[in-house]
Amino acid sequence: MNVDGKLKLRKFLKEALEKHGDQGELSDSESLFVSGRLDSFSMMQLVMQLEEAFGLDFSTVDFDVSLIDSLDEIAAFVDANASA
């Protein structure tokens, strides 16, 4: 994933966290969902956002929260699955 894509993602995640009243730092490797910082509704919104922004189709992947639990994981997942 390019720098621009990662910035966009970080912005989305920071906004989601802020909506939960969470202004804490977000490192690239930090757990978002398993840790409980974000809820399943945010997970669903992230999935929809990723589909739209990167042309992903989640119906073709074996979805698991560990695929998208941190910024690094999301970036790797996008790189592996994004349509050209």
Partner 1 sequence: MTTNYNLAGAIHRHGLHTPDAVAVAYKGQSISYRELAQRAARLAQELRRSEHWQAHDGQPPRVGILASRGIDACVALLGTCWAGATYVPIGLKLPEERILTILSLCKLTAIVADADGAKLLGERLRAACPPVLTCSANDAMGEEIDSIAPAGQALLADLADAPAPMAGSDVAYIIFTSGTTGIPKGVMISAAAARHYAQMITRVLDLRASDRALETCELTFDFSVHNMFSTWEAGAALHILPATLVMNAVKFARNAKLTVWNSVPSLVGMLRQVKTLHADSLEDLRVTVFGGEALPESTVAAWRVAAPNTAIHNLYGPTEATVFCLGQAVAEDTAITAGRDFVAIGTPLPGNEAMIVDGNHQAVPGGDSGELAIAGVQLADGYLNDPQMTAARFPTINGKRWYLTGDLASVDASGVFHCLGRIDNQVKVLGYRVELEEIDAHLRAVSGIDLVAAVAWPTVDGMARGIVGFLGAIAVDSVQVIRDLKARLPAYMVPNQLIALETVPLNQSGKVDRQALRRLLDQDPA
| Per-residue tokens: 56 | 């992903």
DSSP 3-state assignment of 49?
helix
Tell me: does residue 11 bind partner 1 (CB under 8 A): no
Where helices occur in the chain by DSSP H, the ranges are 3-19, 40-54, 71-81
Q: What is the DSSP letter of 21?
A: T
Q: In terms of CB distance, is 55 or 63 closer to partner 1? A: 63
User: Using CB under 8 A, which residues numbered 24 to 83 contact partner 1?
Assistant: 33-34, 36, 39-41, 43-44, 47-48, 57-59, 62-65
Q: Which residues bind partner 1 (CB under 8 A)?
A: 18-21, 23, 33-34, 36, 39-41, 43-44, 47-48, 57-59, 62-65
